[in-house]
Structure 1
Amino acid sequence: MREEERKQALAAWRRLLEEPEIRMGAEEQYDELLKMADTMEQDELITPEEWRHLVRKAGVNFAQATEGLESGT
Structure 2
Amino acid sequence: MKEERKQEALATWNKLLEDPEIRMGAEEQYDELLKMADAMEQGGLITAAEWRQLVRKAGEMFAQATEGLEGGT
Equivalent positions of 1:1-73 (< 5 A) are 1-73=1-73
Mapped to 1, the partners of 2:9 and 2:72 lie a distance apart of 36
- The CA RMSD over aligned residues, in Å, is 0.4
How many residues are aligned here? 73
String of CA shifts for 1:22-67, please: whole Å, max 9, x gaps. Answer: 0000000000000000000000000000000000000000000000
Mapped to 2, the partners of 1:42 and 1:4 lie a distance apart of 17
Q: Which runs of 4+ in 1 moved over 2 A?
A: none
Give how far 1:72 is off.
1.5
Return the letter of the residue paired with 2:26. Answer: A
Unmatched 5+ residue regions in structure 1? Answer: none
Return the letter of the residue paired with 1:41. Answer: E
Q: Percent of counterpart pairs with the same letter?
A: 75
Unmatched 5+ residue regions in structure 2? Answer: none
TM-score by length of structure 1 reads 0.98
